[in-house]
Amino acid sequence: MHSTPVTRTLEALGIDFTLHQHAQPVRSLEQAARERGLAPGQIIRSLVFRVGEGAFVMVLAAGPGRVSWPKLRRHLGVTRMTTASADEVRRVTGYAPGTVSPFGLPGPLRILADRGVLVPEVVSLGAGIRDAGVILKRDDLLRALSLEVGDFAA
């Protein structure tokens, strides 16, 4: 099994998880879900937004759903924001786009979660490496992270 900042963080927190490494490159959310034995809504995407000069937030979104920019801006109290660039994502999270996780971050980061993340009992998030995901209980996710939960779905 690979060791990543994600798996090391989960182990240090005493959280049970499964690291699923795909045999082939992952081309879609549906493929990732199917191969992990999950529904698409159980795959949690970790999205990074720039909300000001040098200020970033991560939003956890369930499955194929999109984030509502107006709802997110209103919650954050900002008028402008952008999707973080690939370089910004690497700098802020320590992970390449497509491998991002809210676990094992190099520094503090405000993490928001759409309510849809709380629906399934079991979820899967980025593992910090390509073509892999960690699968864990939603309650462990909630216990391990300080999440701001809100309605951010489009």
Instruction: Work out how many domains the chain is built from and give that number.
Output: 1
Give the pLDDT mean for 5-23: 95
pLDDT of residue 52: 85
- pLDDT, mean over the chain: 94
pLDDT of residue 1: 58
- The domain of 84 spans 5-150
Neighbouring CB atoms inside 10 A of 37's CB total 12
pLDDT (tens digit, 9 = 90+) per residue, 44-91? 999 999 998 889 999 999 998 889 999 999 999 999 999 999 999 999
What type of residue is 145?
A: L
Residue 82 main-chain phi, psi, to 5 deg: -140, 160
Tokens representing 24? 């082939």
pLDDT (tens digit, 9 = 90+) per residue, 90-140? 999 999 999 999 999 999 999 999 999 999 999 999 999 999 999 999 999
Put simply, whether the predicted model's pTM sits higher than 0.75 gets the answer yes
Tell me, what CATH number does 136's domain have? Answer: 3.90.960.10
Kindly tell me the burial class for residue 79, based on how many C-beta atoms sit within 10 Å of its own C-beta (0-12, 13-18, 19 or more).
exposed
In contact, 100 and 43? CB cutoff 8 Å: no
**C-alpha to C-alpha distances, 121 to 9, 136, 137, 149, 151, nearest whole angstrom:** 21, 9, 6, 16, 19
Residues of the chain with pLDDT > 90, as a percent, come to: 92
